[in-house]
Structure 1
Amino acid sequence: MQIDNILSGIVSKKHFFNVPLDYQQPEGEQLSIFVREIVSTENQHLSLPYLVFFQGGPGFGAVRPVENNGWIKRALKEYRVLLLDQRGTGLSSLINTTTLEHLTPQEQADYVCQFRADNIIRDAEVIRAELANNQPWSILGQSFGGFCVLQYLSAAPEALTEAFITGGIPSLTRQADDVYKATYKRVITKNNDFYHRFKDADILIAELADFISENDVILATGEKLTVEMLQLLGVNIGMEQGPEAVYYLLEQALINTAQGRKINPLFLHQFSQFLDYNTNPIFALMHESIYCQQFHQRGANWSAHRVREQFPKFNYQKGQRLLFTGEMIYPWFFDQFEQLKPLKAVAEIIAAKSDWNNLYDVDVLLQNKVPVTAAIYSEDMYVDMNYSLETAQLVDNLTYWITSEYEHNGIRIDGEHILDRLISLSRKKSIR
């Protein structure tokens, strides 16, 4: 059944596709993959090329458009845009505690490990065959979506006319430990910037950390708030407008009452909205696997947790400055977050897994013919600029734009300009 919806300046169509859970067993269990096709109202009757958007993550559904603005506005000038809910997310077959509860931990691990970038690209190829009649199309990847772009360029470059990447060029060769060592250093810099900007943040956070340590503080989602959990707010400080949001949250955490200082119920509600671990379990289960390759012959084995030992500043002590952490996954998540607790055993199995497939083919990328343009953010807290530049030297026909104007999620803030810049770079390259 075809469903058309009208948004502000956009016509939206829903598509569902059946794909194998495991492409090595194509006749086995099937998944449903959802794609939202959008086109501007003025172009709805035109035959336009497709641009497929790969969302950041892993484990997050594609953006839900509200109106024709931002990067979507620029894209819809010349494309029909496909917003892909990657397997396990959005309206595609979901992964969460409910959908996995009928499986044993080992069965859960075998299932979840089918939700990497390689199968996301295989899903895209099924969709291209059915929706685009196997015609090549353009792709755009933000953050982890950029990792998907490099996998697509490795596995099926003949499917692509051009590729765009924003804040998401992965290392092709480095292990997870290397990535997290670099990440902790950048997170320290972002912490320093945060405390420099917000002069009373030290006092606000110290008071809140003391209160949490001395009292049982229960969040709206049912967890007991811990200092370690408080540090996780740092995942937001590397985003555009993220430091401001974190500061304003902390500013209202404690209130004066007739019984003394108390936790603000508003804070308890809003805090849970700043973290996605309960609602998007793929991120906690599979994030470290995006840095694992077959030739490493080792698993991530809680890389961020192990590497943290080299940065003792992150181990908060009363009287010291609290440092926020960033995009790190820790084993204690599966002891503290309510929706992750049932997944503790599968998380341990995945962390120990060492026989991951390679996601990138350096030999293919060295001979890449697909025009690729990428925005590299020099101040990016999540994706190391130096590692991105290393990769850029290994991908032929890749042109990059380095800028300090934006944080990691710049496409959300100034997407029309960023995508226009990348498209212009691609067109100039094609002319040459």
Structure 2
Amino acid sequence: MIAYPLAIICHRLNNNAYNKVNAMNHPSPQLTFAGMVAQKHHFTLPLDYADPDGAQISIFAREISSPENSAKSLPFIVFFQGGPGFGAVRPAANGGWIKRALKEYRVLLLDQRGTGLSTPVNYACLSHLTSNEQSQYLSHFRADNIIRDAEAIRQQLTDNQKWTILGQSFGGFCVLKYLNDAPQGLAEAYITGGIPSLTRSADEVYQATYKRVLAKNHDFFTRFTDAQCLIKALANHIENNQVLLATGERLTVEMLQLLGINIGMEQGPESVYYLLEQALIDTPTGTQVNPLFLAHFCQLLDFNTNPIFALLHESIYCQQTRSNWAAHRVRQTYSEFNYSSDKPFLFTGEMVYPWFFEQFGNLKPLKQAAEDLAQKSDWPMLYNLETLANNQVPVSAAIYSEDMFVEMQYSLETAARVGNLKYWVTSEYEHNGIRMDGEHILDRLIAINRGEKLR
């Protein structure tokens, strides 16, 4: 029997007669800020829906409306963020896709289980469990249970009214899972930068995305002609000197390559280049790594603070199969990523590697749990092809042709297999397009879904 964290035990479900989950919402008073009215919601839900009276977790959601609409009974649009393992956006102003959404919806920003203000997942919260217990616990944090949480919340918060959903990146996986499992709860659905393959393995996914990462490397080093010299000088320095990050770990070349996750984003290449420009400084005692670089480097890589991504990223592709460190194995066929001083430096992308759990301080205590999850072969099926082929919920999706993280051909394969799905292919945006031009992107997707004339 697993001894679950105190935070979970304190949220045990109190019902004994319900066949459905009682979400037990604990709303807060309304808050007003930056042209929006917000209300916090805390829901107590089962860790394992197969055992609804067992251990409980808390799920946080922030409801946002415009001041002029705050007293109106507008329908909800629920946002599923990228990841897995990251909390929902914390809006500071009424702008972007939220501005467009608030014209006709109340927005619900859901902190997916284990993230944000929901019951957290980190080494400290799991430290009293054995590695086997940790992996069992973490196995409940995929898209299937995220959607079960959302459905339980919908039934309680809306009096069982349908709502609309929007998914970005991994959020697109959640949208398809929602269409697969609970379409009766949906009025419309939107996807940006995240239509996954319904059938392809993690190995196939990484075979495709490594090629996209190579293309983004070529673009980066072509644009910034001195970047290769800058990054090689830094790589050679840290290979020959012990350099400690602001978080205490030794900076390695493998870590340095991880900055490549940013070159697939809007404004990401610029951020990486400007960081490299100030990486090395001359001091009276010789060349050193700039402390400013070491601090900013940690801000661009969040594996220490968001462990779910490293622990479960590959499992989002698994259906009755194990991942077995797919990105690590596939990388062996791309030897150009194995750095040495006599060859060009290349960044990697969003790939997760087993050495994360040896080099990142907050991941080290979860090393065996990560290995157990990588070898887990009984992951439940995610998609029923017949169910999705017969989908009746209107769905529109933005597919970014130059997306480093999502293979366009796989997205098009899926689009052809999901009923009632319309899509817009564009080269105008990178993976995080919704952050950069969200008002326009959501407005266009709404028009596509409703058969309206595009503006």
Q: Which range, TM-score by smaller chain?
A: over 0.9
Distance in 2, Cα, partners of 1:213 & 1:24? 50
Are residue 136 (structure 1) and residue 162 (structure 2) matched?
yes
* Per-residue Cα deviation, 1:10-50 (whole angstroms, up to 9, x for no partner): 00000010110000000000000000000011111111010
Report the residue type matching 1:119 in the other structure: N
Query: Residues 68-217 of structure 1 correspond to what in structure 2 (within 5 A)?
Result: 68-217=94-243
Distance in 2, Cα, partners of 1:117 & 1:341? 25
Distance in 1, Cα, partners of 2:303 & 2:435? 21
Counterpart position of 1:233: 259
Counterpart position of 1:334: 357
Q: Which of 392, 395, 406 matches 1:372?
A: 395
Counterpart position of 1:56: 82
Distance in 1, Cα, partners of 2:98 & 2:33? 13
User: Under a length normalisation based on structure 2, what TM-score does the superposition of the two structures give?
Assistant: 0.93
User: Under a length normalisation based on structure 1, what TM-score does the superposition of the two structures give?
Assistant: 0.98
Are residue 318 (structure 1) and residue 341 (structure 2) matched?
yes
Are residue 276 (structure 1) and residue 307 (structure 2) matched?
no
Distance in 2, Cα, partners of 1:187 & 1:4? 44
Are residue 221 (structure 1) and residue 247 (structure 2) matched?
yes
Report the residue type matching 1:343 in the other structure: L
Distance in 2, Cα, partners of 1:309 & 1:171? 23
Report the residue type matching 1:255 in the other structure: I
Are residue 8 (structure 1) and residue 34 (structure 2) matched?
yes
Contact 1:206 1:319 in 2 (8 A): no
Distance in 2, Cα, partners of 1:342 & 1:166? 35
Are residue 289 (structure 1) and residue 312 (structure 2) matched?
no
Counterpart position of 1:393: 416
Counterpart position of 2:16: none
Distance in 2, Cα, partners of 1:80 & 1:238? 31
Q: Secondary structure at the match of 1:12?
A: strand
Q: Secondary structure at the match of 2:94?
A: coil
Distance in 1, Cα, partners of 2:286 & 2:411? 51
The alpha-carbon deviation at position 319 of structure 1 amounts to 2.3
Query: Residues 408-423 of structure 1 correspond to what in structure 2 (within 5 A)?
Result: 408-423=431-446
Q: Secondary structure at the match of 1:412?
A: helix
Counterpart position of 1:242: 268
The alpha-carbon deviation at position 3 of structure 1 amounts to 2.4
Counterpart position of 2:68: 42
* Per-residue Cα deviation, 1:226-269 (whole angstroms, up to 9, x for no partner): 00100000011000000000000111000111222111110111
* Per-residue Cα deviation, 1:350-371 (whole angstroms, up to 9, x for no partner): 0000000011111100000000
Instruction: Give the 4+ runs in structure 1 shifted more than 4 A.
Output: none
% of aligned pairs identical?
67
The alpha-carbon deviation at position 429 of structure 1 amounts to 7.2
Distance in 2, Cα, partners of 1:136 & 1:111? 31
Q: Secondary structure at the match of 1:81?
A: strand
Report the residue type matching 1:226 in the other structure: T
Contact 1:234 1:326 in 2 (8 A): yes
Structure 2 regions of 5+ residues with no counterpart? 1-26
Counterpart position of 2:53: 27
Distance in 2, Cα, partners of 1:385 & 1:40? 36
Distance in 1, Cα, partners of 2:428 & 2:448? 18
Query: Residues 262-273 of structure 1 correspond to what in structure 2 (within 5 A)?
Result: 262-273=288-299
Report the residue type matching 1:62 in the other structure: A
Distance in 1, Cα, partners of 2:137 & 2:334? 34
Distance in 2, Cα, partners of 1:127 & 1:155? 15
Report the residue type matching 2:368 in the other structure: A
Distance in 1, Cα, partners of 2:225 & 2:434? 29
| RMSD between aligned residues | 0.9
Distance in 2, Cα, partners of 1:397 & 1:253? 50
Report the residue type matching 2:296 in the other structure: Q
Q: Secondary structure at the match of 1:151?
A: helix
After the TM superposition, which of the residue ranges 45-54 and 255-264 deviates more from structure 2? Answer: 255-264
